[in-house]
Amino acid sequence: MDLNKLLFSLKDCKCGKEHSFRLKSAVIAEGITAEAGSILKESGFPQRMLLTADENTIKAASGLKESLLAAGFEIQEHIFANLTEARAEDVLLIRSICGGADSIIAVGTGSVCDVCRLAAYEENKAFAIYATAPSMDGFASDTAPIIENGFKLTRQAKQPDVILADTLVLAASPGELKAAGFGDMAAKYTALADWRIANLITGEYYCPKIAQLVEQGLNKVMSMADRVRENDTEAAESIMEGLVMSGLAMSLAGSSRPASGAEHVLSHFWECKKLQAGEQTELHGKKTGVASVLITKLYRDLAAAPSVTAYADMTDWDSVRKAYGGELAAEMMKMNSPTVTDDIDPAAISERWPRIRRVIFDTLPETDALRDSLLRAGAATKPCDINVDSELLKLGMKYHPYMRHRVLLTRLLPMIKTEDEDI
């Protein structure tokens, strides 16, 4: 990726922000594992490093350690057994053992990277990522979703200094992981719609140029749907670049808005309820892909109404607390004190509904078309594909917006009534 060209494209952006990011280098190319050490050395990456992976990702990164040693790096290792979730206790573990290192390199995908980026931030260490699969959009992010007290919170974290990705390794990764990355990219449709709608309703910051960058990556990835299941280096590279661009977009915007909307919050709700029940969760991108289909259908169905009448927020908070239960309910109430709708004028929703409808129709594909793309890529499309039963589906669709202090169209539903019925 040409980061200088990217920054130049954002120069003198009319959104009012001066755009920058910490990432120095993102090298996504075929056969670069052997060059990983020299690339990091040339970037000025500190020599004493903690290499963190799990048993699966370290196997995928064959040749990486040898390349680092050949370049003169001093390596301390920590290999997790199988890190499927990024938890606060794992962050504390990495923080406790990285004292002798000046840098951390995360070898893997979502959970390993999130644990390491938060540890690097809190310990002020240089940070690099060697990606082993194009499975999620957080590679270039400066935030980390971490499970703490059973609740998934987004924490400020360290954007990597360098991202390395060998397309041969990416293409050879399990099909499920590549499909998850495709699903996470598909989720950008609804994320961008929510961002634009929030801007219309509240005047929340929005940057058209950042949105356009995400859309460009999204469109390229969607065009690769039929090649995702194959060991296709071009498809793997496109997904990886789209995912890295999404992470950079979040950094450039100063929030996760360009890449995360109602579909991500719905996924987080399912995940937290599964954890609450002591059940295993599915891959992040697998869940967000399914959620994007559901939210796309909901939004397009909503947009069929030519007008709405809006009222003050009519949320039944007793029902919300019951839906979350236990510690989740306590964390949710803290998140909603004050609630995000306090400063929203209902009249603004009614008056701007035609523009909201236009955003939906202009931004979101037809639901069947989105579902078809996901299927061709081998991605999940239905709640049953991710072990979400009808009850959890119902709870999630109604109560997920309360997991974040953020204006989502789904969060406005308790304020909206169509001509015929309550939505």
Q: Which domains does the chain have, with CATH numbers?
A: 3-173 (3.40.50.1970), 188-206+257-417 (1.20.1090)
Position 421 scores a pLDDT of 53
The confidence score (pLDDT) of residue 152 equals: 81
pLDDT at 96: 97
Structure tokens at 313: 């927020």
Query: Model-level pTM?
Result: 0.93
- Looking only at the bridges linking them, the beta strands covering 416-417 and 309-310 are antiparallel
Short-list 377, 396, 383, 392, CA closest to 180: 377
Q: How far apart are CA 387 and CA 283, in angstroms?
A: 11
Give the C-alpha separation, 275 to 84, whole Å.
12
Beta strands in 93-179 (DSSP E): 103-108, 126-131, 143-148, 151-156, 162-166
pLDDT of residue 422: 45
CB burial readout 324-333, b (16+ within 10 A) else e = beeebbebbe
User: What was the pLDDT predicted at 423?
Assistant: 42
Residue at 273: amino acid letter: K
Backbone angles phi, psi at 148, to 5 degrees: -140, 125
Which residues are CB-contacts of 156 (< 8 A; sequence separation ≥ 6)? 121, 142, 143
- For residue 4, what pLDDT is reported? 78
| CA 240 – CA 228 distance, rounded (Å) | 12
Say what the pLDDT of residue 420 is. Answer: 59
Profile the chain (423 residues) by mean pLDDT over runs of 10 residues: 82 88 92 97 96 96 97 97 91 96 95 96 97 93 87 88 97 96 98 98 96 96 96 95 94 93 97 90 94 98 96 96 93 94 95 98 98 98 97 98 96 87 47
